[in-house]
Amino acid sequence: MTRHDDDPLVDRMKTDGRWNELWNGIEELDPTWTEDYLRTVLEPYESGVLSPREVQMLCIAVDAACTHLYAPGLRRHIRAALALGVTPREILEVLKLATTVGIHALNMGMPILVEESAAAVEDGSTTSTQGDPR
């Protein structure tokens, strides 16, 4: 991939306020990669395949997910979604869906908890697998 010097996206993003200051170091160390990466990431915004509303709602889900938790982006995308006519109720539903990403901790943790609790009862290090864990 090569840098698109005819229309640098990084420059446009800095000018229109979409630039994240956290990207400064990456852009200084590897401006070509940064330009190419951002062009790829911004494709859903600019391709027209998804509506602007859909793009904002997906961005809300990503920024709110427990694996990302990026409050500045979440705030920016909620504002943009509201400006596009997305209702607070629709955003709430997206947030509720995004919480299911964290369910994997419970799906993985519960069987382990049950197994280890049973083993603890068998070896006598605890008296019960139920009740107050204190």
What is the distance between the alpha carbons of residues 16 and 39, in angstroms, rounded to a whole number? Answer: 15
The rounded percent of the chain whose pLDDT value lies above 70 is 89
CATH number of 9-101: 1.20.1290.10
Instruction: Give the list of residues 6+ apart from residue 7 with CB closer than 8 angstroms, or none.
Output: none
**pTM score, whole prediction:** 0.69
What confidence score (pLDDT) does residue 128 get? 54
In which element (H, E) is residue 91 found?
helix 88-98
Instruction: Quick: pLDDT tens for 13-61.
Output: 999 888 888 889 999 999 999 999 999 988 888 899 999 999 999 999 9
pLDDT at 130 over 70: no
Is residue 1 pLDDT above 50, yes or no?
no
